[in-house]
Structure 1
Amino acid sequence: MNQQTVAGIFSEFFETHLAPLGFVRSTPTLAERVLTGFKQIIRWNLTASSFDLSVQYSYTHDLDDALSIAASDEEPNPDCSGYVPILHMRGSFTEDAIKSDLNSVHRKLRNTLNRTQSVDKIITAVNDDMTAGVRLLGHDPMGMSFNYAYCMDFAGKKREAAKRYADLSGLRRSNRSVFATRVREAARERAIALKSYLPKDVTEHLVKPTPTDAARQSIVADAISETELAKRIIALGFNPETVLPGLFLEVVVQAYSPATTFWFNVDAERLVSELESQQPTYMATVNRIWAKDGCGSFNEDLVNAIRTKQFDEYSAKWLLSLPQEKVSNDDDHEVYDLLHRHLKRTRNLEMLRYLELDGVKAIGYIRDRMDLMLS
């Protein structure tokens, strides 16, 4: 079986089933139909041991990678376009076998094309089945999110599209890959184009500050004494019956907008001592109620909460120091293994203990800290 023979088979299939739907032949292996905001592309591919027929969805923006995927013989895995397999044949096959199998899938192909022949229908398909997002919009989470917002935009759902573009423009800043950077910038530009649909404070955030503006911005806190931190916490007079260690730390975050390694400069035990020194009766009551509820020692849990913050800061700072390709993917298991090996190699047993306590879910919190450091 050779390419010329299969091209002839596909030509017959095209004339019978695709031309009546408005498709045109662009190359011997491709047929396409131009729709509002995107194209449907029918592609066949022949190798020594396989024959494939698929539908690709190419969106009319610069991030789309459907054409590069169509030109490749590798396993399709597009970041920012759709790919739906229709037919896959393996082994040795005859001309008649290919004709027969193509004819047997033409209804499946027609149904796929009809169910996705507009951006509205693509939105409906994804809303009905979230797994369809990977097939219709792209395998990369950021690429898929961009294309979903793009479909909303072309469907006339401008307010929703603007919000999604704005959210995406600030997503996963710890992912510094070229593709992620391009997605965030494209989303930012499209959000600005739809700024009339966004609140004023959101549009102001989207506009990049000039060097002069940046110089005027307040400096976030690098280090505040434990005495000052204790004063700020105690001043709010939380009810001892309902207070949590995390609430104490949230007070600090709200008051001082901590810098990238703020918590690393805090002596956890000294902060607890300052709290007890400034309000011994209050802290004794908090500890008594905490212990009564079977929660152990409030002071110890507060120290542990601070050290968890320190662990997040340490891990985020180290990961950001690496070449971007090592941590730019969204596979938390890979990043966990990378960090785990580093902590074992450097014999940082305390940080290793915190990583192993939370397991892979710790990476999500570390990514949030990385995003904060980059924002």
Structure 2
Amino acid sequence: MAGTLLVLALTSPARGYVLDDHQDFDFRLRAYTEAAVAAEKSEPQTKPSRVPFQLIEHRNFFNPELDGKLTRYQPFHLDDLSFRLALWGFYDGIYDYGTGQYARAIESLQGRLSQGHTNTGPITHTDTLIDPRKEYEYQPDPVLGGYGDVPFRINEAYVNSTKGPLFVRVGRQAISWGESDTIGLLDANNPFNLTLGVPGVFQDIDEARIPLWTLRGTYNLFESWGPISSAYAEAYLVPGSIDTTVSPLPLPKASPYSPPQDDPQSLVAGLIPASIGQSLVKPALGGILIGLYVHLPSRTLGNSRYGFRLGGIVARDYTTSIWFYRTFANQPVPRFLALDLSRCMGSRTSSAPARASSANPSTG
């Protein structure tokens, strides 16, 4: 991506409403519409190209939230019992109106874009095709239902309970230990939406963070001990059998925020000279199809994410913590798979070497 963007946004103050006399339930809604216009001509490597004053983004975002305090209604004698439900969704209108270059670019992609949970998905034909338009136009929920079934995300859905020094939160939630106002270099507990570029630059970092189905607990160790106060221990677990969501892979040519790459199929020209492709490969195999395959973590307990943290305040002024956690990298590792001749049937279908991107567990 290159060039300068002019961003015009229409916003209004967030609205909140109390739903009962005790003020135990309240509803809030945050929404905005944002348009981006190209301010200058794009660089040669930008695909597709753009010219000044083109509308290249019209993002309509909504984030309704419902909070409830259930302490007065529960028979368990807990100090606190509450819940939170929040949805997250957007619609980018440039694929339906305005400039049509990105919709045409998606339709013109010839490389095979797919994802799956095994190393051999493209070879065993167990991969699932990726719909670039869904990923960039409204981004469906990554866990609920099949791919693309739910056109928004249940961003938060959890229950809080507190008894004495113990706090427990169960449900879909965000974990942020390396907090930052812009780019979170150490904030890697949860994946981020990378389809709008670097989180914290082109998109609010909290809006870009993708919550996970998590069991989280915090225990207050002591209030004061020498120079240390408000000490606590915290741990969380994201069961891999339930949620192995990773950052969606930015796709070429699909958006003004796409990486400056061409159609994966264009790699054929660099791998096989045109003379050989026309005289030998095409008559024998029917051509070669390049595939970009995203290797997703399988939903097994072995792919669970977890972390442990000790924290407190030192000398009344310095918030200090030490932690260990296991997660998946936001940026996948590119790999190349061998030529797959199983898709070749004479000259009628193409063989497909697949370039894989896999997310491997890492610790921090």
TM-score range (shorter-chain normalised) is under 0.3
Q: TM-score, normalised by structure 2?
A: 0.25
Which protein is richer in helix relative to its size?
1
- Structure with max Cα Rg: 1
After TM superposition, the score normalised by the length of structure 1 is 0.24
Q: Relative to total residues, which structure has the larger strand share, 1 or 2?
A: 2
